[in-house]
Amino acid sequence: MQTFRVEGRLLRILFYAIISGMLFGLFFALMSLGLNLLFGVMRMVNLAHGDFVMVGAFIAYVAYTHGILSPWLGLALVIVILGGLGFVLYFPIGPRLTGSYDPEMLSLILFFGVSQILEALAVMVFGNNPVAVGYHVLTVKPVNLLGQAYQPSWILAAGVSVIVILAVYGYLYHTRLGYATRAIMGDREESESTGINVHRVSAIVFALGLVTAGLAGVLSPLVIGSIYPTMGLGLTITAFAVVIIGSLGNPLGSILGGLIYGISLMLMETYLSTWSTMVPYVLLLLILLLRPTGLLGKGVRRA
Q: Given a cut of 80, is residue 138 above it in pLDDT?
A: no
pLDDT given at position 67? 61
pLDDT given at position 302? 43
Percent of the chain at pLDDT > 90 equals: 42
Task: Tell me the mean pLDDT in the region 251-280.
Answer: 84
Task: Tell me the mean pLDDT in the region 264-270.
Answer: 85
Q: Given a cut of 90, is residue 217 above it in pLDDT?
A: yes
Task: Tell me the mean pLDDT in the region 152-160.
Answer: 90
pLDDT given at position 5? 59
pLDDT given at position 145? 73
Report pLDDT digits (tens) over 120-132. 999 999 988 898 8
Q: Given a cut of 50, is residue 9 above it in pLDDT?
A: yes
Q: Given a cut of 90, is residue 54 above it in pLDDT?
A: yes
pLDDT grade, residue 215 (50/70/90)? very high
pLDDT grade, residue 65 (50/70/90)? confident
**Cα–Cα distance for residue pair 221/54, rounded to 1 Å:** 10
pLDDT given at position 3? 60
pLDDT given at position 232? 92
pLDDT grade, residue 299 (50/70/90)? very low
pLDDT, the chain, mean:
85
Q: Please state which of the ranges 14-18, 215-219, 235-239, 254-258 shows the lowest mean pLDDT.
A: 14-18
Q: Given a cut of 90, is residue 115 above it in pLDDT?
A: yes
More confident residue, 289 or 198: 198
Q: Given a cut of 50, is residue 300 above it in pLDDT?
A: no
pLDDT given at position 301? 44
Q: Given a cut of 70, is residue 2 above it in pLDDT?
A: no
pLDDT given at position 303? 39
